[in-house]
Chain A
Amino acid sequence: MGLATSALRSRTLAALTSPHGVDRYLELVNPMWAAHEVRARVVDVHREVDVPGHPPVATITLQPTSTWRGHRAGQHVQVGVEIDGARRTTRVFTISSPDSRPGDRFTITLRANPEGLVSRYLVERARPGTMVHLSQAQGEFVLPDAVPERILLISGGSGITPVMSMLRSLQRRTHRGHVTFLHYAQSPEHQIFAAELDEVRRSGHGIDVKLLHPELGDPALSPAYLERHVPGYRDVPTWACGPAPLIEAVKGAYADSPALRLEYFKPPRVAGSDAAEGDVVFSRSGASGANTGDTLLDQAEALGLTPESGCRMGICFSCVSRKSEGTVRNVLTGEESSLPDEDIRICVSAPVGDCTVDL
Chain B
Amino acid sequence: MTATQHITTETAETTATTDAPGAPESTATIFGRLTPEQLESFGEEMDAIRQRVLADLGEADATYIRNVVKAQRAFETAGRALFYLPPAWPLAVASLSVSKILDNMEIGHNVMHGQYDWMGDPGLSSRMYEWDNVCPSEQWKYSHNYIHHTYTNILGKDRDIGYGVLRMDEDQPWHPYYLGNPLYAFLLMVFFEWGVAMHDLEVENLVAGKRKIEDNKALHAGIMRKVRRQAVKDYLLFPALTGPLFPLTFAGNATANLVRNVWAFNIIFCGHFPAGVATFSQEECEDESRGQWYFRQLLGSANITGGKLFHLMTGNLSHQIEHHLFPDLPARRYPQVAEEVREICERYELPYNTGPLGKQLFSVAKKICRFALPDRKREDAAAAPESETTLAA
Residues of chain A having any CB pair with chain B under 8 Å:
12, 15-16, 18-20, 24-25, 28, 80, 82, 84-90, 308
Contact with A along B232-265 (1 / 0, CB 8 A): 1100011001000000000000000000000000
- Please judge, given known A-B contacts A18-B233, A24-B123, whether A86 and B57 are in contact too, CB under 8 Å: yes
Let me know if B120 and A87 touch, CB within 8 A. yes
| Residues of B106-127 whose CB lies within 8 A of A | 118-121, 123, 127
The minimal Cβ–Cβ distance linking B325 to chain A, given in whole angstroms, is 20
- Inter-chain CA distance A18–B136, complex, in Å, is 12
Asked if B130 is an interface residue, CB under 8 A from chain A, the answer is yes
Let me know if A15 and B58 touch, CB within 8 A. no
Contact of A28 among B70, B121, B230 (CB under 8 A): B70
The minimal Cβ–Cβ distance linking B239 to chain A, given in whole angstroms, is 12
Number of A-B residue pairs at CB separation under 8 A: 56
- Please judge, given known A-B contacts A20-B130, A28-B70, whether A80 and B120 are in contact too, CB under 8 Å: yes
- Please judge, given known A-B contacts A16-B233, A20-B130, A25-B73, whether A84 and B119 are in contact too, CB under 8 Å: no
**11 A-B contacts, Cβ less than 8 Å apart?**
A16-B238, A19-B130, A19-B230, A20-B132, A24-B123, A28-B70, A82-B62, A82-B121, A85-B59, A85-B63, A88-B121
CB-CB under 8 A from A85, the residues of chain B are 59, 62-63
- Inter-chain CA distance A359–B226, complex, in Å, is 28
Contact of B58 among A24, A80, A86 (CB under 8 A): A86
Let me know if A18 and B59 touch, CB within 8 A. no
Contact of A15 among B77, B226, B229 (CB under 8 A): B229
- Inter-chain CA distance A172–B272, complex, in Å, is 69
The minimal Cβ–Cβ distance linking B55 to chain A, given in whole angstroms, is 13
- Inter-chain CA distance A16–B226, complex, in Å, is 13
Asked if B334 is an interface residue, CB under 8 A from chain A, the answer is no
- Please judge, given known A-B contacts A85-B62, A86-B58, whether A19 and B119 are in contact too, CB under 8 Å: no
CB-CB under 8 A from B73, the residues of chain A are 24-25, 28
Q: Give 12 A-B pairs besides A28-B70, A86-B61, A86-B62 with Cβ atoms closer than 8 angstroms.
A: A15-B229, A16-B241, A19-B226, A19-B230, A20-B130, A24-B73, A25-B73, A85-B62, A86-B57, A86-B118, A87-B118, A87-B119
Asked if B131 is an interface residue, CB under 8 A from chain A, the answer is yes
- Please judge, given known A-B contacts A28-B73, A87-B120, whether A15 and B59 are in contact too, CB under 8 Å: no
- Inter-chain CA distance A35–B122, complex, in Å, is 15
| B interface, size bucket | 20 to 34
Let me know if A18 and B229 touch, CB within 8 A. yes
- Inter-chain CA distance A87–B121, complex, in Å, is 8
Contact with A along B69-109 (1 / 0, CB 8 A): 11001000100000000000000000000000000000000
Let me know if B121 and A15 touch, CB within 8 A. no
Chain A's closest residue to B103 (CB) is A20
- Inter-chain CA distance A15–B240, complex, in Å, is 13
CB-CB nearest 7 A-B residue pairs: A88-B120, A19-B130, A86-B62, A85-B59, A18-B229, A86-B59, A86-B58
The minimal Cβ–Cβ distance linking A42 to chain B, given in whole angstroms, is 19
- Inter-chain CA distance A18–B133, complex, in Å, is 10
- Inter-chain CA distance A120–B94, complex, in Å, is 47
Chain A's closest residue to B232 (CB) is A15
CB-CB under 8 A from B229, the residues of chain A are 15, 18-19
Chain B's closest residue to A81 (CB) is B120
The minimal Cβ–Cβ distance linking A196 to chain B, given in whole angstroms, is 35
- Inter-chain CA distance A89–B118, complex, in Å, is 10
CB-CB under 8 A from A24, the residues of chain B are 69, 73, 123
Contact with A along B15-54 (1 / 0, CB 8 A): 0000000000000000000000000000000000000000
- Inter-chain CA distance A129–B233, complex, in Å, is 36
Let me know if A86 and B119 touch, CB within 8 A. yes
- Inter-chain CA distance A170–B101, complex, in Å, is 57
Let me know if B57 and A19 touch, CB within 8 A. no
- Inter-chain CA distance A90–B119, complex, in Å, is 11
- Inter-chain CA distance A259–B338, complex, in Å, is 66
- Inter-chain CA distance A87–B57, complex, in Å, is 9
- Please judge, given known A-B contacts A18-B229, A24-B73, whether A89 and B130 are in contact too, CB under 8 Å: no
- Inter-chain CA distance A3–B351, complex, in Å, is 63
Contact with A along B347-371 (1 / 0, CB 8 A): 0000000000000000000000000
Chain B's closest residue to A84 (CB) is B59
CB-CB under 8 A from B77, the residues of chain A are 25
CB-CB under 8 A from A86, the residues of chain B are 57-59, 61-62, 118-119
CB-CB under 8 A from B58, the residues of chain A are 84, 86-87
- Inter-chain CA distance A15–B236, complex, in Å, is 10
CB-CB under 8 A from A28, the residues of chain B are 69-70, 73
Chain A's closest residue to B74 (CB) is A28
Let me know if B59 and A19 touch, CB within 8 A. no
- Inter-chain CA distance A85–B226, complex, in Å, is 33
- Inter-chain CA distance A15–B232, complex, in Å, is 7
- Inter-chain CA distance A5–B61, complex, in Å, is 33
- Inter-chain CA distance A88–B120, complex, in Å, is 5
CB-CB under 8 A from B232, the residues of chain A are 15, 18
CB-CB under 8 A from B59, the residues of chain A are 84-86
The minimal Cβ–Cβ distance linking B44 to chain A, given in whole angstroms, is 18
Let me know if B237 and A15 touch, CB within 8 A. yes
CB-CB under 8 A from A15, the residues of chain B are 229, 232-233, 237
CB-CB under 8 A from B241, the residues of chain A are 16
CB-CB under 8 A from B130, the residues of chain A are 19-20
Let me know if A89 and B120 touch, CB within 8 A. yes
- Inter-chain CA distance A84–B233, complex, in Å, is 37
The minimal Cβ–Cβ distance linking B136 to chain A, given in whole angstroms, is 9
CB-CB under 8 A from A16, the residues of chain B are 233, 237-238, 241
- Inter-chain CA distance A182–B264, complex, in Å, is 67
The minimal Cβ–Cβ distance linking A122 to chain B, given in whole angstroms, is 16
Let me know if A12 and B237 touch, CB within 8 A. yes
- Inter-chain CA distance A20–B108, complex, in Å, is 11
CB-CB under 8 A from B70, the residues of chain A are 28
The minimal Cβ–Cβ distance linking A341 to chain B, given in whole angstroms, is 16
The minimal Cβ–Cβ distance linking B290 to chain A, given in whole angstroms, is 13
- Inter-chain CA distance A302–B123, complex, in Å, is 29
- Inter-chain CA distance A174–B194, complex, in Å, is 65
Chain A's closest residue to B131 (CB) is A19
CB-CB under 8 A from B57, the residues of chain A are 86
Let me know if B120 and A90 touch, CB within 8 A. yes
The minimal Cβ–Cβ distance linking A35 to chain B, given in whole angstroms, is 14
Chain A's closest residue to B226 (CB) is A19
- Inter-chain CA distance A15–B377, complex, in Å, is 55
The minimal Cβ–Cβ distance linking B51 to chain A, given in whole angstroms, is 13
- Inter-chain CA distance A86–B121, complex, in Å, is 9
CB-CB under 8 A from A90, the residues of chain B are 120
- Please judge, given known A-B contacts A24-B73, A89-B120, whether A19 and B61 are in contact too, CB under 8 Å: no
CB-CB under 8 A from B238, the residues of chain A are 16
